[in-house]
Amino acid sequence: MSPIPTINLPTRRKNLVQRFFAWMTAHRGNWYENLTAVRKQALFGGLQGSILELGPGTGPNLRYYPPGVRWTGVEPNEFMHPYLLQSLRALNLPLDAFEITQGDPQGIRLPAQDASLDAVVCTLVLCSVPDPAGTLGEIIRVLKPGGKFIFIEHVAAAPATRLRRSQDFFQPFWTTIGDGCHPNRDTETSIQRAGFGRVEIDRFLVPAAGITEPHIAGLAEKRNL
């Protein structure tokens, strides 16, 4: 398979992109939340115990967690952290149960022991990680048997469609300005092949999201040994 084109930015410019991306995420308004809130309520409402959220961004998911969870947010973009703290405070969440970390600078290893977590949550993150199969393998490693991986992701459109051609065409530019985001990733297949037990996936469209309109939401459970 040919490598996916990406433009490597020098560190200073990468910092600027990350700062801008954090600001933009914080100011994107409620339209996306309004369109995904019902799915988030259904997927997050039953969670309990220890949860790791990968790439929580500015914290749009925090409001959906039930009381009593212990949460670790692995957010490599440090410019997101002040917004994340602001969201925690605005929601009056108990700060001793919520921890923010930048995680592994290589973005490979998750900061958790094997089989230690009840759930891992990702929304709009698998499009950006450097190695989706490796990240999914890490998610399986840190989940307890029966633990849940909860996700909402934008995904590649069906092959040979006009939308897919646009996703492929714009991908190098999109990945550069979107801090690593790939609009044409087949994340559904990656999740199906990752080695989970039960997998439930619901496909839906987010209107007005342009080339990121096609979405999936669902859960995947780590097999019981």
Site residues, ligand SAM (CB under 6 A): 25, 54-57, 60, 74-77, 80, 103, 107, 123-125, 128-129, 180
- Beta carbon nearer to ligand SAM, 79 or 196: 79
CB of 41 to ligand SAM, least distance (A): 15
**DSSP E strands, the chain:** 50-54, 70-74, 98-101, 117-123, 143-154, 199-205, 214-221
Minimum gap (Å) between residue 96 Cβ and ligand SAM = 23
- Please identify, using beta-carbon distances, which residue of 124 and 220 lies nearer to ligand SAM: 124
Nearer to ligand SAM, 101 or 161 (CB): 101
Q: Minimum distance between the CB of residue 80 and ligand SAM, rounded to whole angstroms? A: 5
Distance, first Cα to last Cα, the chain? 34
Distance CA 103, CA 221 (A): 23
Give CA–CA dist 162/164, Å, rounded: 5
Cα 34 from Cα 107, distance rounded (Å): 30
Based on CB atoms, which residue is closest to ligand SAM, 127 or 220? 127
Q: Tell the smallest beta-carbon distance from residue 195 to ligand SAM (Å).
A: 19
Token readout for 108 is 């490979």
